[in-house]
Amino acid sequence: MRIRIVDAFTDQPFAGNPAGVCLLEAGPWPADSWMRQIAAEVNLSETAFARPLPDDPDADWDLRWFTPTVEAKMCGHATLATTHAMSSDGLLDGRVRFNSLSGVLVASVEDQLITLDFPVSLPAVIEAPEGLREALRIEPVEVYRTEPLGDLLVVLPDEAAVRSAAPDLIAVAELTEKFAFRGAILTAPAERDGEPPAAGYDFVSRFFAPGHGIPEDPVTGSAHTGLAPYWAERLGRERLVGYQASARGGVVQVLLAGDRVHLTGHAVTVIDGELKI
């Protein structure tokens, strides 16, 4: 079976967020245990498995995502990577509908830019959970929980604080498990020198999900379904650009469209090979 590694939310190789992509034949899913083993072997934050649905009127492909340890309910960068692989193979004509654990997700391709249509995950203010400051090793400005994804959204005072943050990942894993968070998002406004920000993005973020086998995710599309409504309200604009300030880094263009968020970015295939099992 063919397997690819695609860097998502970047137009340069070895940046953005790499995802494994396996496009399967039509028919039953392989065993969950086998897909988990493949995802663990690939050892990226997510590996996507997709199979065509020739007789489904509501979706074109089934799509599932696996971290090295668990099946994910939603993954933006691996969906973008899968769409890129399908487009490269000539398997879609500008648009594809994926059936997933998060419902039907639509992806479209235009001029090598891929846009994902995902449900919004609204942030609600919460009290800082016990142990948050110790786990993050930083003082938050505001704390939110996004629903339905259940991310812990922590607002910091400035971009420098996000970039320099060095959380205690063991403590973050314990905290997210105790309070049933998927992961922890750190975010702040971009450093500004006039309008628009000189850096070319409006806000920065980082995402940590050590409890799901992802110490720090390079670029997290799904986290932007909660970042988009927060920053849209704060900055007064529905169309924004986010930069995820991980070691690899990546850019996510976001558009808040009612109860949906459009996530747009590039992707690059860096490895194209064959499983020998």
Catalytic residues: 46
Q: Supply φ then ψ for residue 227, to 5 degrees.
A: -65, -35
CB-based burial label for 155 (10 Å; 0-12, 13-18, 19+): buried
Query: What tokens does 118 get?
Result: 């995902």
Q: Residues for the chain: how many in total? A: 277
Classified as helix, coil or strand, 11 is coil
Q: Give the dihedral of Cα atoms 204, 104, 21, 11; nearest 10 deg.
A: -40
What is d(CA 245, CA 250) in angstroms, rounded to the nearest whole number? Answer: 7
DSSP 83: H
- Amino acid occupying residue 206: R
Tally the C-alpha atoms within 13 A of residue 40's C-alpha that lie toward its C-beta.
8
Q: Are 152 and 183 in contact (CB under 8 A)?
A: yes
